Structure 1
């Protein structure tokens, strides 16, 4: 056996070296690969991207066993991208990353693919993570924004957050605000372990540190780690800036009672203009929860008086008592104020407010009430599509709510190709609507008097003017 192996090794050693013909000369296989790859790279450097893409493709077919194949595969996708053949480039680079995940050109390919995906703006397969240790600081800075955008589009929020932080750190001027929004969006969706790792890795002087630290403090507060939440909130507060209010709220909540998983807070305007609606909401809640505290779930109800500041304070008060979640309030202004404070504190809230944009405040805010726009649009669409109504009348109360609903409803009617033919408004606390409806349908006393006068005048013209033409002209005046 040993003798056979030795013979085979000797035969292989004596075998002629593999050669290829390049430019009319016979050269070794690897020398030919080096020459042809160099020619393709020269075309690329000269801006001849279509030619370069063809040359790289030819190289890939001819030199499948070359040590230079990885570079050619990457450069082929890069040349296609430069030639504005983005779909082909995306396919080429994705195939390269799938087939050769350990290639030394992996990082470069991921960065190039991220830039392509950003240009295409379409859903794409997830990008593999990039190893920053294999990149220069300049390369990281140049690639950060495109990587953050592509990772976010693919739902890879941990990577999107990490590269979004780098993009924010290097942003200047007009770039800063959109990059900050992109980074905060990734922070809201990123897993807690990734956020903790990022806070640990970032320099506290980094523009990305306060937002990440505040997010982590909220997570710690909500999971019952009040000591660390308070410490981290204090650090964010000492840094000042836009996140100080949120940090202060977390700090105050952390100083309250420990989290009580069986305590639910309810914030409603039990006094003020919305009292009647609050009473109805409370009656509905009482069908499920024992408001007297005799069940497993304890309930604490706080009056917001319909005022934004009071609503925010009510949420903070409940958070300090350890409430696991908050339900309410009802009004638009108080709804926004309460939801903002709940998001700052990291306390889940199910809002009963019609205010637009509540859930966009963050991942802790939910809603169980459609917006005014959605309600008005639903009524208009039902009337037009189900009832085939083509003309409408609007009767609204003299209030901000009435103005808002009338505006949304009128817009929805116009959008559906119908028209509003009558419009009236009435003072709040009106109990008799007959005169308003009469005016809308042309049956008010004034309307009827005008009709009587017209009838009498028409009868007179008919009797006095016998010529049909002159009679029609007189009736039309």
Structure 2
């Protein structure tokens, strides 16, 4: 009976009008609340700013219909006007623009009115409106829109030189974005193409030293060539290519010069970027000496080295651009300093010119497949040292005593990684200040002792002395070798203190900074047996190293260092590649470098890994009987 009554009551309720209950948003509810008026507008505006015109159009059209009296409507109408203007749907753009009551009161409104006037074929009114509008009253993007529309309007009134002047002024402003700059220069190119000969000459003169002027000069030369006046065109093209002003059609100018002169586009040349002035000039000159010596050994190659000083304020990217597009080199080498090396490598990758970097700065080969590096890096050193220690000597545990600086931190990290990969382990690491002279604390900590304990132990009783006779002697440290990544002057301070405080007969491992006569002179017997790597050893018994040292001494009257050797090797391997008859393009050079295998360089047999990093067989050096000798 009760079930039948409930059924009847349910039917009655269904027949009545639905009851609308107020929505309740519970904490954690999946139901999302409706967007507010402001949120709806801002979502549409954000979609427009992100370039999603379809989404913005749908949201903002819906907004003005749903909220016909909103205070955001003027801004919504302006955005819709912009969307339709960008789509070249000018009638729809005008429809929304005219819905704005205060249209003439805002610079943005007057800008869009003028732009639409010109787009719809009324340049007279459009030019008048836009000319009266001060660029300073507009946002940077709207300044570009004004310049673009005004230039088109002036051109429609046959005032093309004035149009070019408008574009030139906008391009001269620092806040013009790169993409907008490209758009304006493309329009300028079209306008120049429409000029007669007299106006083109005037444009080339008016805009000398600018991208527009360069374009005008190129179009003058192209017209002369098309009329068969190649002798008149040649000096124009030479002037154009010699001018360092960047412009979008430089490659066309270079190709035209090749066509007129009958020379190939690429030259058998290498662009070399070194610090030849300023604080690093001495290093740059040493590398250059090594490179010049390598070139001397190839007298009939016809290959040129073009040196550029990158020590000044000039942007390294611009230097690369000039070497690539004006000198038309097939490959690049350098620089040696970090920031400029990164900049140059980035530009070389963009231009697709093979570059061998001489810098130790992190991240350079990773910039792209045209970038290689041939220099003595921290990774190369610890790899050679770890292989020697673990694979040849059988050491499995290591201690590190390092300076408290970036050099010490990097070497310690890399050494730990390399020995771990080979099955070894760094069991202790101690750090000292860079200005330290007393290393008692660090040495005691390596020995597992209290650094604050007195140097002299308390006097033992006779009974304690007797017991001590039966205690076995344990090693002072629990590792097989000690790695000290510092330079010879500091090692000369550290090494004598090791046995003084209790660490005796422990093999010492170092870095190339140990390869100095000062090491043996100042540290003497305390570094006997120490082993360290280097990228060059002028006393090597390798015949090709002996030949290099002799040739260098004969020419310059002094013995070479690793810098001259590095320059000699980089130049030599590039010369060996460029002399091959099958290497005619930059891509050929890149492939040859990527396939290089054990090039017999004086800084070690050299190959490049998949990332462009040099893989070298370094020199392993050891102090033996008070002399530094090669042991590999």
**TM value normalised by structure 1:** 0.35
Q: Which has the higher contact order (CA 8 A, sep 6+)?
A: 2
**TM value normalised by structure 2:** 0.28
